[in-house]
Every structure is written in structure tokens, then in C-alpha cells.
């Protein structure tokens, strides 16, 4: 088909040299695909290289502790990917004797491996003729063919997968899938696509009908929640600092943080001091100081976090606590890690 031939020709001339394109090792391909979910190539690449240096094989990753994995993942966001990554590594290492399944349907049995990731591994590592469908693919196909199905709907995955599979070159599935994703990432971008220099312009419905900005259709909106975090840096005379692990489900599961007081709305420093006094008796506190006068806004996909840090100096030693110089050994949310580095 002319669409497929034009796309593959464009890819041969324009593909980026990326480290995971230099291998057909399913471990490397899987690792890159997990990291690239909701993450730009430029941000993911150094993490990919550091992971391979620390864990050259899936068995090495499986034998690492979760804290080691989370620490190395620190700053990449969406930490459930790291926890699932670690779980899947154990599954492959111990249930599959260190060998990844070689087919799309078997790959789907791995934790954290959905239809897109399974298709990517199966096609790139094992030449299975199965098409990938990610955000880039939705966009290219919706625009070129004028598909107005809401990509947030339950029907979209099946419809776009069927369409992509009709276009797939069964002799070159790896090339085709990477070409389609690369075209969406570099040429048919969400904003300001390069339509005037596009090799598919000749038959693009969205370009012809002036609907490029309207496609793909996505009507589902994520509700944004505001949360107010007040972190307490509690330090004793021995310079030990109190840490706690976020064990509840939700953001930053199993990462470390300073003791947290969360409020539904902003509160004054005076009101917060009262809350602090209810946790640590005033006679045990030497001083309470606001560390950042300006609130830090940390945006997640569905939450806005308004963050303040406060130094609480105690006049007696704590039974628990971490030496200040050991703080960097722990995996933190990046907003806390950056604060530690700054202050």
C-alpha cells in the first residue's frame, strides 16, 4: 500500500539513532518501552542507559531490591512503572528462566505489559506481524484516514488496532511499527505538525478537510485535584532526620518522604504550628522555621501539589532517624530530592 511504502521510505531517511534501536534483545526493548510510556525520549534515554549499566540482564534487575530500582528511577515519574518493571523482571527471571516469551499473546501474561508493549516486543525482537497502537499511532491514523472515533472510548483500541494491522508490512513489522511511532513523534506532532513537508499529505483527510487541529478526537478530561502538602524536616541534636515511607496506595507508593501534614486547603503558619505542637510537645522543640517562603507547585497528571517545607529542631535525641549525610541513599519523589539538593 502506498501509505506503508511512503512511511517506510520516510523512516529510512529520518529515523533517530536511539540506543534501543541497536539491539533486538527483548529485555532492552521492553525496558525502553516501559520508560517511554508518558515520557519524552530525551528524558528517558539517560535512565535507560543507567539501568542497563546497573542491571545488564533481566536477572540482575530481578535480584535487585525495590529500593534500588526506585532510587535509579527517581525523577522519571509514574513510579508504578518501576514497581511493575521490577515485578515483571522477577516473573521473567524465575517463571520463564530468564527468557522473555516470544509471542504477543504470551507477552500479555506479564505484569505491566499491555497490548502496546507486547506488540512492540513481539514485532521488534521476534518479527511477529502485530501492529502497535500508542498515542502517536492514534494521531497519525486519525488524521490520515479522518477517523473521528473518540480515542478515549472503549471502542478505539480495537478499531485503530484493526486499521494498523491492515497497513502493517508482514515482512517488516519491526520497521513499520517504529516508523509509524517515529512519524507521530517527529512529523505528525500534536501541535504544529509539519504538514507542508509531509510525505503523506497527498491523501491526508485531516489536511484536505482542514481538521488537523481537531483530530484525533479525545473528549475525556481528567479532573485535576488540588492538594496541600506540608513537609516537616524534623532534626535532633545528633543531626538525625526523621523519614517515613509512603506505604498507602496512590502517588509515590513505597518512596520516602519527610513527615507530612496534608490539608484540604491552604492554612496559615500559625495554624500549622498548632498542628505540629499536637504531634511534638512544644517543650521538645527548639525552633520551627519555614524553609521555603514561596509555595512549590508540583504538577502531576491529575493532581496539583502545593508544597511547603518546615524545619523542626528538637532538643532531645530521637530513637529513629537517618543521618543527614545518608539522605541521598533513599528513593524520594523528585520534588523532595530537589529540595534536599538545594537546601
C-alpha 332/C-alpha 280 separation (Å) is 24
pLDDT band at 301 (very low <50, low <70, confident <90, very high): confident
33 in active site: yes
C-alpha 13/C-alpha 42 separation (Å) is 20
Q: pLDDT tens digits for 279-288?
A: 888 889 999 9
CB 334 within 8 A of CB 73: no
DSSP state of 248: S
Q: pLDDT tens digits for 120-169?
A: 999 999 999 999 999 999 999 999 999 999 999 989 999 999 999 999 99
Axis-axis angle for helices 41-54, 66-73 (nearest 10) = 150
Q: What's the pTM value of the predicted model, to 2 decimals?
A: 0.90
**C-alpha separations of 15 from 2, 133, 181, 226, 232 in Å:** 19, 19, 10, 40, 48
C-alpha 38/C-alpha 24 separation (Å) is 23
What is the percentage of the chain residues whose pLDDT exceeds 70?
100
User: Minimum mean pLDDT among 35-49, 64-78, 124-138, 282-296: which range?
Assistant: 282-296
pLDDT at position 272? 93
pLDDT at position 103? 98
pLDDT at position 176? 97
DSSP 3-state of 12: helix
Rounded mean pLDDT, 297-303 = 93
Nearest to 336 by CA among 238, 240, 258, 239: 258
pLDDT at position 342? 87
Classify each residue of 42-80 as buried b or exposed e, where b means 16 or more C-beta atoms within 10 Å of its C-beta. eebbebbeebbeebeebbebbebeeeebbbbbbebbbbe
User: Minimum mean pLDDT among 46-50, 285-289, 331-335: which range?
Assistant: 285-289
Rounded mean pLDDT, 285-312 = 93
Q: pLDDT tens digits for 168-221?
A: 999 999 999 999 999 999 999 999 999 999 999 989 999 999 999 999 999 877
pLDDT at position 236? 94
CB 206 within 8 A of CB 144: yes
pLDDT at position 143? 98
Q: 74: which residues sit within 8 A by CB, 6+ positions away?
A: 331, 332, 334, 337
Catalytic residue among 2, 17, 33, 67: 33
Q: pLDDT tens digits for 206-259?
A: 999 999 999 999 987 778 999 999 999 999 999 999 999 999 888 999 999 999
Whether the predicted pLDDT of 38 surpasses 90:
no
Which residue blocks in the chain are alpha helix, DSSP H? 2-14, 26-36, 41-54, 58-63, 66-73, 80-90, 104-107, 115-126, 135-145, 156-167, 173-186, 205-208, 269-279, 334-342
pLDDT at position 343? 78
CB atoms within 10 A of CB 217: 16
Kindly tell me the burial class for residue 334, based on how many C-beta atoms sit within 10 Å of its own C-beta (0-12, 13-18, 19 or more).
middle
Whether the predicted pLDDT of 75 surpasses 90:
yes
C-alpha 297/C-alpha 335 separation (Å) is 9
pLDDT band at 314 (very low <50, low <70, confident <90, very high): very high
DSSP state of 328: G
Classify each residue of 102-133 as buried b or exposed e, where b means 16 or more C-beta atoms within 10 Å of its C-beta. eebeebeebebbebbbbbbbbbbbbebbbbbb
Nearest to 178 by CA among 126, 136, 145, 142: 136
Amino acid at each position: 500500500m502506498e501509505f506503508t511504502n511512503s512511511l517506510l521510505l520516510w523512516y529510512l531517511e529520518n529515523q533517530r539513532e536511539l540506543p534501543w534501536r541497536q539491539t533486538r534483545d527483548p529485555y532492552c526493548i521492553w525496558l525502553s518501552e516501559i520508560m517511554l510510556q508518558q515520557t519524552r525520549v530525551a528524558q528517558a534515554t539517560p535512565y535507560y542507559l543507567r539501568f542497563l549499566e546497573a542491571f545488564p540482564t533481566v536477572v540482575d534487575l530481578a535480584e535487585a531490591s525495590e529500593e534500588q530500582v526506585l532510587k535509579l528511577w527517581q525523577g522519571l515519574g509514574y513510579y508504578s512503572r518501576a514497581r511493575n518493571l521490577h515485578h515483571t523482571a522477577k516473573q521473567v527471571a524465575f517463571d520463564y528462566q530468564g527468557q522473555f516469551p516470544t509471542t504477543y499473546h504470551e507477552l500479555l501474561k506479564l505484569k505491566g505489559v499491555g497490548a502496546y508493549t507486547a506488540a512492540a516486543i513481539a514485532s521488534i525482537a521476534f518479527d511477529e506481524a502485530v501492529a502497535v497502537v500508542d498515542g502517536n499511532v492514534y494521531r497519525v491514523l486519525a488524521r490520515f484516514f479522518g477517523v473521528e472515533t473518540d480515542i478515549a472510548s472503549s471502542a478505539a483500541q480495537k478499531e485503530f488496532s484493526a486499521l494498523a494491522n491492515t497497513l502493517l508490512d508482514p515482512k517488516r513489522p519491526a520497521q513499520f511499527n517504529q516508523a509509524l511511532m517515529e512519524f507521530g513523534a517527529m512529523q505528525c506532532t500534536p501541535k504544529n505538525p509539519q504538514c507542508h513537508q509531509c510525505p503523506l499529505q497527498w491523501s491526508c483527510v485531516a489536511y484536505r478537510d482542514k481538521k488537523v487541529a481537531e483530530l484525533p478526537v479525545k473528549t475525556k478530561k481528567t479532573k485535576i485535584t488540588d492538594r496541600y502538602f506540608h513537609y516537616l524536616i524534623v532534626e535532633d541534636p545528633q543531626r538525625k532526620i526523621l523519614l517515613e515511607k509512603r506505604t498507602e496506595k496512590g502517588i509515590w507508593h513505597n518512596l520516602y518522604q519527610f513527615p507530612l501534614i496534608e490539608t484540604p486547603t491552604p492554612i496559615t503558619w500559625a495554624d500549622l504550628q498548632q498542628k505540629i505542637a499536637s504531634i511534638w510537645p512544644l517543650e521538645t522543640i527548639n525552633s520551627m522555621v519555614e524553609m521555603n517562603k514561596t509555595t512549590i507547585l508540583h504538577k502531576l497528571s491529575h493532581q496539583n501539589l502545593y508544597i511547603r517545607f518546615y524545619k523542626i529542631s528538637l532538643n532531645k535525641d530521637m530513637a529513629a532517624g537517618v543521618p543527614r549525610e545518608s539522605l541521598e541513599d533513599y528513593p524520594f519523589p523528585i520534588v523532595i530530592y530537589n529540595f534536599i539538593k538545594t537546601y
